[in-house]
Amino acid sequence: SAVISQKPSRDICQRGTSLTIQCQVDSQVTMMFWYRQQPGQSLTLIATANQGSEATYESGFVIDKFPISRPNLTFSTLTVSNMSPEDSSIYLCSAVGTGGTEAFFGQGTRLTVV
């Protein structure tokens, strides 16, 4: 199994600013993902974080708004740029181990934009 540490766990930010969320996995994993969970909603995939190359974004999400880095096999960051109140959500990091049979999730970052 893999343990995922995500920080910050929560933050309140001013509109127009940016926040970078960090995700650290305690073991090497093959794939890492970033999800958004808007209030009262399910999880929506933002992008797949690719090691050493640009992330793969899902429809409706763009790199300028959600730049992602993955410099190595155990670490990734998601930046929420030029925030507006509509970006208030929980953002979750996920990782799939080398066995490829389970996705592990961090505790999430609860973001409030005011």
Partner 1 sequence: AQSVTQPDIHITVSEGASLELRCNYSYGATPYLFWYVQSPGQGLQLLLKYFSGDTLVQGIKGFEAEFKRSQSSFNLRKPSVHWSDAAEYFCAVVGGGYQKVTFGTGTKLQVIP
Footprint of partner 1 on this chain (CB under 8 A)? 4, 30-31, 33, 41-45, 48, 58, 92, 94, 96, 100-108, 110
Nearer to partner 1, 82 or 112 (CB): 112
Residue among 36 and 83 whose Cβ is closer to partner 1 = 36
Residue 93 CB, shortest distance to partner 1, in Å, is 9
| DSSP assignment of 52-100 | TS--EEPTT--TTTS-EEEEETTEEEEEE-S--GGG-EEEEEEEE-TT-
> Which amino acid is residue 20, in one-letter code?
T
Closer CB to partner 1, 9 or 17, in the complex: 9
Which one, of 105, 62, 59, lies nearest residue 80 by Cα? 62
Do the beta carbons of residue 109 and residue 94 sit within 8 Å? Answer: no
Shortest CB 1 distance to partner 1, Å: 9
DSSP single-letter state for residue 16: T
Least gap, CB of 82 to partner 1 (angstroms): 26
> Taking the complex as a whole, how short is the minimal distance between the CB of residue 95 and partner 1, in angstroms?
11
Residue closer to partner 1 by CB (options 3, 16) is 3
- The Cβ-side half-sphere exposure at 54, using a 13 Å CA radius, reads 7
